[in-house]
Amino acid sequence: MSKLLKRALKYAIVPAILMIAGKVIGIFIVTIKYGYPIEIGNDINGFFSTQIYFDDSQITYFVNSISDLVMLIVISVPLIYQILKTSLFQSTVNNPKTIVKAAKFNILSWITKDDTTFLQTFVWCAFLWLTTGLIIKNGIEGDTYSWIAYLAGSLSFFSGLLTLKIFEIEIDRVYPDSKKYY
């Protein structure tokens, strides 16, 4: 197994756990908060053998929508943090005026050694795309609110663009633009 694949798998453990935990925690938080009766059963015919059942289809629709939203937030917040931290670090390297702006907003602690790599950001972005795909599938099938699917799609689109921008900056650092030096 290559070193790149090993690092990618290492970076993929946390978002995979958070994705599943976000969905499950979202289900149980809504169930406990509103006091909905819940049943857990086994269904051999389905893709997943463990099924969660509610008494009413409207309750199922509401719980599934909120748990999709929690899963989206749990995956997107760390990704947005990584994108902002990497962008801020790269901006301070190119433009020292950014340090003054960061001091005004009291986020100087974000300007540290570049410990957020592109591979890590890409893995988190891939999990956001996977989450978005599941939420849009639920939205098309009518199992979640459509606004959550729209939110997931737009968040995934913009995160993908920002991840691409980070990739371009990393490529420019490895292979500098020849026009700058001539």
Residue count (the chain)? 182
Hey, is 27 helix, strand or coil?
helix
One pLDDT digit (tens) per residue for the chain, 182 residues = 788 888 888 889 999 999 999 999 999 999 999 988 888 777 666 666 677 778 888 988 999 999 999 999 999 999 998 888 887 777 666 676 766 666 676 766 656 555 557 788 899 999 999 999 999 999 999 999 999 999 999 999 999 998 888 888 777 766 666 565 54
Count of domains forming the chain: 1
Is residue 181 assigned to a domain? no
Hey, is 43 helix, strand or coil?
coil
Cβ within 8 Å of residue 37, ≥6 positions away = 54, 55
Is residue 53 assigned to a domain? yes
Is residue 182 assigned to a domain? no
Q: Which range of residues forms the domain containing residue 154?
A: 3-173
pLDDT at 157 (0 to 100):
95
